[in-house]
């Protein structure tokens, strides 16, 4: 566990309880860590999880200790819901853009995800951008407001395949290596 103004501390956890906590939390959820020898638990965010490539077992977890009175910067996932009427009516297809936004807030204001309603995309050409998000009070979005979250585009009509006439290839005489040497010797 590490953090601003905090000396890094190596920690050991029981595997089962750590796996349970990691399965329940994401990078934007606070975790309460009871450190031996301390009266109060530390509040932290999961920053990095390393797993064995073959077995999938946990190797290492980085926790970022937060101060509840200081603003922090982190990424929050976007969770889409609803369906675009334009897509449902087969007028277009939905292209997804970014799936997270960078935010700044106090740790207590942090949310698990920001919801994005796709039902407002009623026509081909419409897009939802970061500026269209509704975020809770206390959260400031740092991601560019023009970043696209979802965009309805026109479906491509099946293109006709036109066979072009290919001109007949000219005849090419193949010269073997032996013939090439004879020709070179005659010229030399």
Which domains are delineated in the chain? Answer: 15-65 (no CATH), 72-154 (2.170.120.20)
Write down the pTM of the prediction: 0.70
Q: How many CB atoms neighbour CB 128 within 10 A?
A: 21
pLDDT at 99: 95
> 136 with 108: CB under 8 angstroms?
no
- Output the CA angle 146-141-139, nearest 5 degrees: 150
Q: Which value, to the nearest 10 degrees, does the dihedral of the CA atoms of residues 126, 127, 132, 135 take?
A: 130
Cα separation, 101 vs 94, in Å, equals 19
pLDDT at 96: 94
User: Which residues, given as ranges, of the chain have pLDDT below 70?
Assistant: 27, 157-188
pLDDT at 173: 63
Cα separation, 2 vs 74, in Å, equals 15
Cα separation, 29 vs 41, in Å, equals 15
Cα separation, 88 vs 107, in Å, equals 39
Cα separation, 11 vs 2, in Å, equals 10
């Amino acid at each position: 566990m590490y953090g601003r103004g905090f000396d890094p501390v190596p920690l050991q956890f029981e595997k089962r309880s750590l796996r349970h906590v990691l399965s329940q939390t994401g990078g934007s959820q606070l975790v309460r860590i009871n450190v031996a020898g301390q009266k109060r638990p530390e509040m932290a965010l999961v920053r990095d999880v390393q797993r064995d490539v073959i077995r999938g077992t946990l190797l290492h977890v980085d926790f970022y200790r937060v101060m509840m009175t200081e603003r922090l910067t982190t990424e929050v996932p976007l969770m889409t819901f609803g369906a675009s009427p334009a897509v449902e009516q087969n007028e277009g297809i939905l292209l997804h853009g970014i799936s997270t936004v960078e935010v700044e807030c106090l740790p207590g204001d942090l949310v698990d995800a920001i919801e994005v309603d796709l039902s407002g995309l009623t026509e081909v050409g419409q897009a939802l951008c970061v500026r269209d998000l509704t975020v809770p009070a206390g959260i400031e979005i740092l991601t560019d407001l023009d970043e696209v979250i979802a965009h309805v585009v026109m479906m491509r009509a099946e293109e006709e395949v036109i066979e072009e006439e290919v001109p007949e290839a000219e005849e090419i005489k193949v010269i073997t290596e032996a013939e090439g040497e004879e020709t070179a010797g005659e010229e030399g």
